[in-house]
């Protein structure tokens, strides 16, 4: 299950995203309203955790915009606004739950579990590029009819590449997607992960799918 966490307080998002990942969730993090809205609109998330008071657009505006587009992904607001009028305003904007800062971590995790139970997981669509397909729910890639088992990090990396074909993704973007704001286990782990993924998905025909952009990062699906 994938969660989008949008909050401009890095001192909150860093430990919170770490704990959510330890609970087995895939987590993307944004610290600006515009970035959070863009991720929510193109991502496949089962839950959005939004701070109300974000740099424009606010979490309230993000929720309203998504609901106006027919997006029914459950939304949990995190906010210091604690009056009854504020709660009513947030719920009327389309939020499904509301947690006032500061909060206990175990209560947030309980609310996350409750929301995910109320909104059962729908099958994730397959991501494809040519004869490569990826089934996110089962963490399996396919070249033609040949299944390829992936580790959790390999699956996260492949999904991110397939969601951004033809784009140069910097080392920092990839590291933040895979490990949040924390540093990866060591400086070479991203390169090693890319190398392992290449070995699995670039089998047989020699066609390169992941291209190194020297000094910058990687690009998927198109030659340089």
Q: 2-118 architecture in CATH?
A: 3-Layer(aba) Sandwich (3.40)
Terminal CA-to-CA distance of the chain, rounded, Å? 34
pLDDT digits (tens, 9 = 90+) for 125-183: 788 888 899 988 778 899 878 899 998 889 889 988 998 899 999 998 888 778 765 55
- Please, are residues 150 and 158 in contact by the beta-carbon 8 Å criterion? yes
Count CA atoms within 13 Å of residue 222 on its CB side. 7
Share of the chain above pLDDT 90, in %: 28
Candidates 98, 86, 116, 122; CA nearest to 20 is 116
Write down the pLDDT at residue 224.
Answer: 47
- Class of the domain covering 127-220: mainly alpha
Give Cβ neighbours of residue 187 (< 8 Å, ≥ 6 apart).
none
Q: Per-residue pLDDT averaged across 15-22, rounded?
A: 88
Helical H segments across the chain, by residue range:
10-22, 33-42, 59-68, 84-92, 105-118, 152-163, 171-179, 189-201
163: burial class by Cβ within 10 Å (0-12, 13-18, 19+)?
Answer: middle
Domain ranges of the chain: 2-118, 127-220
**Taking the complete model, does pTM exceed 0.95, yes or no?**
no
Measured between alpha carbons, how far is 78 from 101 in angstroms, rounded to an integer?
A: 7
pLDDT digits (tens, 9 = 90+) for 1-17: 789 999 988 888 888 88
């Amino acid at each position: 299950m994938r969660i989008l966490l949008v909050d401009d307080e890095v001192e909150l998002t860093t430990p919170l995203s770490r704990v959510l990942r330890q609970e087995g969730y895939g987590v993307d993090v944004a610290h600006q309203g515009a970035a959070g809205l863009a991720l929510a609109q193109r991502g496949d998330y089962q839950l959005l955790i939004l701070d109300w008071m974000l740099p424009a657009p606010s979490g309230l505006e993000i929720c309203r915009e998504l609901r106006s587009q027919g997006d029914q992904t459950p939304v949990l607001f995190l906010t210091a606004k604690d009056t009854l009028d504020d709660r009513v305003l947030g719920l009327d904007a389309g939020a499904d739950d509301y947690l006032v800062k500061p909060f206990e971590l175990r209560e947030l995790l309980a609310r996350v579990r409750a929301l995910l139970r109320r909104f059962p997981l729908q099958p994730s669509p397959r991501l494809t590029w040519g004869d490569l397909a990826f089934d996110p729910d089962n963490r399996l890639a396919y070249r033609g009819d040949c299944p390829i088992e992936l580790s959790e990090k390999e699956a996260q990396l492949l999904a991110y590449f397939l969601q951004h074909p033809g784009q140069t993704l910097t080392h920092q973007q990839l590291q933040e997607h895979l490990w949040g704001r924390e540093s990866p286990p060591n400086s070479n782990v991203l390169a090693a992960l890319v190398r392992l993924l290449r070995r699995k998905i670039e089998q047989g025909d020699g066609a390169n799918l992941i291209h190194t952009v020297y000094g910058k990062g990687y690009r998927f699906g198109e030659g340089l």
